[in-house]
Structures are given as structure tokens and as C-alpha cells.
Structure 1
């Protein structure tokens, strides 16, 4: 029982810290909306997401950790190229909004997040397309069925690591 209290306390602390990290990520986004591809804002956003991933993984919050890690994996290469502007920033804003909803919907007792991943996959694909149109993560039918896209068309798939990561999901609710 003491272990449950410790976990609940750690979970509550995480949820507070995650809100602070999310606010920081949103501030980075606002900065990027003012100054496209600002290296400091890009670096801050990457570090903030990495911290969120690490803390979520430590508590075993698989869904939040996986989504945050997928988001970070898409954004990390964008720091080196002028990709964080226009549509990419709009897609990033949508991704951060979904992350905020995920944090709100975490069960405060179990730490579980019982949501399907369809919206998550679509938002990550939209961001990937905006960052680099030739490396969209999946075709529409694969997004809808939440399957790995194995089509031979180069414009329909991304490199294997980003592709598999973006469409993998720890939980699916039917």
C-alpha cells in the first residue's frame, strides 16, 4: 500500500511538472512563430520534449512517453534545416494541443491513458509532411487502419526508423 501512495505521489508530481514542461514547449512554439527556425527556441523545444520523455518513461507512462518521443524525433532533424515555419508550426501547435489533452486525461490513480491513436498518427503525419513533404509517414489508408505503411511509392513512406516509430502504438482502444 505504501508503494501505491509513493506511485500516486510521483504521478501527481509528474503531472505538475509535465504541465510546466508543456507550457515551456508552447512558449518555444510562440517564439518560433515570431522568429522562424530560431536555433535557441528549437533547442529549448527539443530539450523540453526530451525531459518530458525521460520523466514519463521513468514512471512507466508509456503512451505519453511514446508520443512525446515521436514528436521529438520529428523535430530534432528540423533544427538543422529551415523547416520550422508556416504549416509546420501549425502542425506542431496541433501536436502540442493533443499532448496537453493527453496530460489532462491521464488517470491520476493508474497513470494510464486509454485513447486510440488515430488522431495522434494523423497529427504526427501532418507534421512530418509539413517538415519534409517527400517523407510523409504514411498514406491515408494506412493512417485510417493504423497499420505500418509498406507501399513502394517513395512519397508515401518515410525512412524505416521514423516510419515505424510514428505508427507504433503502445495501446489501442477499439
Structure 2
């Protein structure tokens, strides 16, 4: 879809939806700062990130869709009981901030998102250090799927 007029017509709607989903995720994260490990807030954040990933997929914005899903998977695959202490919440906040920043970097004419995925990799590694995973084989240093 990242070509010409079709892209330019679809982009404003995508950005509006993406910003609303990101705001919802940030609202859930703020709630988690007040009430740790609230299942409703955690589910809300996971659902918002999944929807954002789906919308980004539809726009062929693979770096955003995969980063959204990677964050959602960190939360979804967290060891039980989930331990969202300050460091984990700050790491998630940094991930959401990067997602917001990446939305701003989308080229309005071409739909391209040129970025160095090292920051995504670093933030995911940091978040996974603070959110223990139930799958012991999960590798925090693994590259994001779109990385080469």
C-alpha cells in the first residue's frame, strides 16, 4: 500500500487510529503505575498494541507492527505472577514513546519509515530484563523479525 495517492489518502486515518491506540496504551500504563498488575489495564494495553500492530500491517508499516507485537508479546508471555515494578513500567513507557516517535517519522508522501532498529532492539532487551518471561528460551537479545 505504500505507494502514491492510495497511501496518502489512508495515512491520516491510520495516524488518527494509531495515536488513539497509543494513547489508550499510555493510559493503561499510567493506571498500572497506580495499581500494579491490574489485569484489566494489562489486557487493555495488550489489546491496544495488538490492534496497533494489525493497523500498521494493513499499511505495510512492518517496523511499527512488529515492534507493537513484540511489546505485546513481552507482556503476554510474562512469568506468572506478573511483576510490573517501576523499572518494568518505565521500560514499557520508553517503548510506547519510541512507537509514538516512529509514527511521526512516517514519510507522508511515500509511506516509508526509515529507521535504525537498534533502538527497538535495545528497548525490547531492557523491557525483557525487567519483565521475566515464562518461556525460558526467550532471548532478550534476539533481533526483531524485520531486522536483517
Q: Is 1:125 paired with 2:125? A: yes
State the match for 2:43 in structure 1: 43
Residue aligning to 1:52: 52
Deviations 1:100-121, CA, capped at 9 Å, x for gaps = 1111111122222111111111
1:78 aligned partner: 78
**TM-score normalised over the length of structure 2:** 0.88
Deviations 1:51-104 (A, max 9, x none): 001111111111111111111111112385232222100101111111111111
Q: How many pairs align?
A: 146
Partner of 2:92: 92
SS in 2 for 1:163: coil
Q: Secondary structure, in 3 states, of the residue corresponding to 2:82?
A: coil
CA separation of 1:129 and 1:103: change in aligned 2, threshold 3 A:
same
* Inter-CA distance 134–54: structure 2 relative to 1 (3 Å threshold): closer
Normalising by the residue count of structure 1, what TM-score does the alignment of the two structures yield? Answer: 0.75
Which of 1 and 2 has higher RCO (CA within 8 Å, sep 6+)?
2
Give the conservation status (yes or no) of the 8 Å contact 2:121–2:143: yes
Q: CA separation in 2, counterparts of 1:163 and 1:63?
A: 19
Structure 1 unaligned blocks of 5 or more = 136-157
Q: Which has the larger radius of gyration?
A: 1
Q: How does 1:1-174 map to 2 (within 5 A)?
A: 4-78=4-78, 80-132=80-132, 159=137, 162-163=138-139, 166-170=142-146
Shift of residue 6, structure 1, vs aligned partner: 2.5
- Check conservation: 1:102, 1:113, Cα contact below 8 A: yes
RMSD (Å) for aligned C-alpha atoms: 2.4
